[in-house]
Amino acid sequence: MNDNLDGSSPTRGVSAIAPKEGGGFPNPGLAPHVHRQADSDKRAERRAERVVAGLFLLSVLGTAVFIAAYFLVTPTGTNIFAEEGSTRAVWWSNLITGLGLAIAVFFIGAAAVHWAKTLMPDEEMVEERHALRGTDETRQAAAAIITEGLQESGIGRRPLIVTTMVAALAALPIAVLAPLSTLGPLPGNKLHHTFWKAGMRLARDHDGTPIRAADVAMNSIFHVMPEDLTEETEHFLEERAKAAAVIVRIDPALGKNEESLANGHEGILVFSKICTHVGCPVALYEQQTHHMLCPCHQSTFDVTDGAKVIFGPAHRPLPQLPIEVDAEGYLVATGDFPEPIGPSFWDIHKDK
């Protein structure tokens, strides 16, 4: 196995190769095989085995450090090294979790390298070039070599290494799963409701002025918000994003949808401003056709027909806010949107 291809003895440390007469270069051959200590010394072999196992165990330790740090050295909650929520807490959290993960990954690699260098078969082989697909005989020979290699690697004879390797590889994914436990609360019913409630006045967006029915001119459109929604409201921005609506006024004679007209007031209709495709603000209104357009992907909603989709990727009408006029002539909601606003989701009709 260790002879040169041309049958001559190999020479070590060839620093320069003189060209052969007639062109080409002589085959430099393989360096003579040097046996490792673990190849001939059983004690050295066992020592190497213990080192590999130890490296895998260090990986397990790194994973354990990561998981412990994830819960005990957090940036904003419990932190055993620094004051909760401080910059030092963030620093310690990043440091310890990062080190834990780095140790876990590094020692798996180190164990694999040490295992290969000290215990796996260490013989130089020469394989002549041949056609890409071998003959059946060579394929069988290859299968036999792989089988032999597996036997020689001693996986079956080294339960300690195999056990610790499996432990290290099994422990590592837990470090990935741990953060899933802190993904935050489920949304509950939040997606099904907005700030609108029965009796709440409609107010102009930005200046908060309540709107009288008489203020809404034919074919006009403007943005409205619940009058009671102020910056002091809890989760103000979230509530504002969900409650956003547009008000339009059409000639009731043009209305094709009785239910939609009944939920309005003399042709004044209020629809959610959040596109039912993926949530862009629907704010373009064609006065001639009474179509509302979403600028993102051109979904088009027919205001005269309950904001039904007549074009584009949206799949359901814009939810309509039911309104009436109070004793002072102001427009008020008679309840929340009848269905969730914005993009659809899997249990959108859960409440129905």
**Looking at 200, 211, 221, 275, which residue binds ligand FES (CB under 6 A)?**
275
Stretch that binds ligand FES, among 8-16, 97-105, 135-143, 275-283 (CB under 6 A): 275-283
Closest by CA to 241, choosing from 291, 184, 290, 190, is 190
349's CB contacts (< 8 A; 6+ apart) are 339
Please answer whether residues 103 and 56 qualify as being in contact, where contact means their C-beta atoms are separated by less than 8 angstroms.
Answer: no
Angle at which helices 42-72 and 87-118 cross, to 10°: 160
Look up residue 119 and give its amino acid. Answer: L
The runs of H, that is alpha helices, within the chain are: 37-40, 42-72, 87-118, 136-153, 159-177, 236-243, 258-262
Whichever of 115 and 337 has its CB closer to ligand FES, that residue is: 337
Q: Determine the residue type at 18.
A: A
Residue 249 interacts with ligand FES (CB under 6 A)?
no
Asked if residue 278 binds ligand FES (CB under 6 A), the reply is: yes
CA angle 281, 283, 286 (to 5 degrees): 150
Q: Please select the residue that binds ligand FES; options are 67, 243, 294, 341, rule is CB under 6 A.
A: 294
Pick 257 or 272: Cβ nearer ligand FES: 272
- Binding-site member from 162, 178, 191, 280 for ligand FES (CB under 6 A): 280
Min dist. Cβ of residue 184 to ligand FES (A)? 25
Q: Per rule CB under 6 A, is residue 200 in the interface with ligand FES? A: no
150: left (phi over 0), alpha (psi -120 to 50) or beta: alpha
- Judged by beta carbon, residue 54 or residue 279, the one nearer ligand FES is 279
Nearest approach, Cβ of residue 135 and ligand FES (Å): 59
3-state helix, strand, coil in the chain (%, to 5): 40, 15, 50
Query: Smallest distance from the beta carbon of 319 to ligand FES, in angstroms?
Result: 14
Distance CA 62, CA 5 (A): 48
Per CB under 6 A, the segment of 17-25, 50-58, 238-246, 274-282 that binds ligand FES is 274-282
User: Does 82 contact ligand FES by CB under 6 A?
Assistant: no
Of 118 and 272, CB closest to ligand FES: 272
Please give the C-alpha separations between residue 81 and each of 66, 77, 88, 290, in angstroms, as whole numbers.
15, 12, 8, 63
Map residues 296-325 to x or -, x wherever contact with ligand FES holds by CB under 6 A.
xx-x------------xxx-----------
**Torsion, Cα of 317, 321, 322, 323 (10° steps):** -140
Both tokens of residue 267? 């042709």
Please select the residue that binds ligand FES; options are 96, 277, 303, 309, rule is CB under 6 A: 277
CB of 103 to ligand FES, least distance (A): 46
Chain residues in the site for ligand FES (CB under 6 A)? 275, 277-280, 294, 296-297, 299, 312-314
